[in-house]
Structure 1
């Protein structure tokens, strides 16, 4: 975690240096409204632990934080009257991560909200490709 930036906006929110509209807090995590929402009710869930993204987050911390995700997502859905929810976590700049502290976007969705949906498929995977990537992923699991 030597690359963790103590000055990132979420670290400042955790230290109460920046105000936020908090919707949930416990000893492990904090959820608050996104300051730049893509739709009203857009909420951010973060661990209180210093971690850059989900790949840098311990299994214990991830388990504690993610156990609250369905509860918060359901509250956001009910509060906004949304008909769906997107849960998004970008890991790394190339994936669109802008704040380098592990976080999960909880985005309420509505029919005709004009937000982008999941990207279109690149096509049907073939047996050789599937077998190859399956073996590569399995060989890189650290469980």
Structure 2
């Protein structure tokens, strides 16, 4: 049954509502964790709010806090189950950030020293102190102006 908080054509809403199958690993009334169809590594898991939220910029604390709490639970289970050397917690907001499913989701990607994942941080030169300071000031001003919606 389609919820009023879902998008009919959203594949993650379909999974959350049971209209599409997925390998579920954790669930609460607010969130769902399941394996992606093409995992990057063993244990790669997606955590989503059941309510449709397009991306991080459209989230409020009511959807984000349970999603992050579930991410912590799943991360601990991944550590216990697979003993990885590390873990990436990845969220993409917008197509420029490689978001392809426009329903907020957190990737938990267990990592091993010898895995086949490519490095994704570009090699860049350190910024000058003045550039860092001016960037930090712009961010601080906008944090004060925005505030978190609840």
TM-score (norm 2): 0.87
137, 140, 147: which is aligned to 1:138? 140
Contact 1:5 1:100 in 2 (8 A): no
2:3 matched residue in structure 1:
none
SS at match of 2:42: coil
Gaps of 5+ in 1: none
What residue in structure 2 maps to residue 57 of structure 1? 59
* Structure-1 separation of matches of 2:7 and 2:70: 25
Distance (Å, rounded) in 2 between the aligned partners of 1:84 and 1:134: 29
Over 2 Å off, 4+ runs: none
Q: Shift in Å at residue 118 of structure 1?
A: 4.3
Q: Partners in 2 of 1:121 and 1:137 — Cα distance?
A: 23
Separation in 2, partners of 1:13, 1:64: 18
1:18 correspondence with 2:33 = no
Aligned partners of 2:95 and 2:8: how far apart in 1?
17
TM-score (normalised: structure 1): 0.91
